[in-house]
Amino acid sequence: MIKRVTISDKALEASFKVAELIAKNMNSHVIGEKLIRPACLVMVETIRRINEMADDINDIVLEKIKNQKLFSLQIDESTDRTSKAQLLDFGRFVDNSNIVEQFLFCKELKSTTTGKDIFDVVNNFFEKSGLSLNYCCGVCTDGAPSITGKYKGFVTLAKIKNPAMIITHCFIHREALVAKTLGEKMLKVLNDAIKIVNYIKNIENKDS
């Protein structure tokens, strides 16, 4: 027999825990009705409004993309502080002759972080939103194997749906890779540049 916990059960458990905190702090029981209950209502109402605003913004962005049809994506998979894999997706599209970049979603990769997992999350989001990867003209990534893998990467699976899709490497990650590759050589050049600047400054100070 499976025991299912309802929202009312959780609400009752929460009320007991709040009552326990009030008792441990030796406050009057009426503080629950006078302060804690109104405070909880304010927090719930505020969070509800924030969620509604976020949904409204998301709907507006998706509607603009649908009107323009063509769009590009920037995808990045990262691990948060709780060691959970998060997939972030930004969309770029033209709006009134301006190139606009908007955050589309951040979704947790619940099991593994393979190219297929990433593709399924992205594809499901677009299908539910009424969009299609057929109109995606480009994808910008950090070059991770799960994204750009030749056989099972996200890019490979996405290009099956849209072979015309152009793949680019993020410029920020390129700079990071260059810095790692140059290493001590870059440091020596920078140190020499600092010495030259300091030397010129010393000469100017003496002349003045």
For the stretch 157-173, pLDDT in tens is: 888 888 988 888 776 66
| DSSP secondary structure string for all residues of 66-118 | HHH--EEEEEEEEE-TTS-EEEEEEEEEEETTEEEEEEEEEEE--S---HHHH
Closest CA to 76 of 42, 99, 47, 103: 103
Please, what is the average pLDDT of the chain?
80
Q: What is the DSSP letter of 135?
A: G
Q: How many CB atoms lie within 10 A of CB 90?
A: 15
Q: Are 174 and 143 in contact (CB under 8 A)?
A: no
pLDDT at 1: 45
For the stretch 83-104, pLDDT in tens is: 888 888 888 998 888 888 888 8
Residue type, 157: L
Q: Give the distance from CA 146 to its chain's centroid.
A: 17
Q: Which residue has better confidence, 88 or 7? A: 88
In sequence order, which residues have a C-beta less than 8 Å from that of residue 133 and are 6 or more positions away?
122, 123, 126, 158, 161, 162, 165
Residue type, 139: V
pTM of the model as a whole: 0.58
Domains in the chain (CATH in brackets) are 7-56 (no CATH), 69-180 (3.30.420.40)
Residue 109: band (very low, low, confident or very high) from pLDDT cuts 50, 70, 90: confident
Residue type, 190: L
Q: What is the mean predicted confidence (pLDDT) over 142-148? A: 75
Helix or strand holding residue 168 (H, E): strand 166-169
What gap in Å lies between CA 60 and CA 104, rounded to an integer? Answer: 11
Helix or strand holding residue 37 (H, E): helix 37-68
SS3 105: strand
Q: Are 107 and 125 in contact (CB under 8 A)?
A: yes
CA distances to 54, 77, 89 from 50, rounded to whole Å, are 6, 25, 20
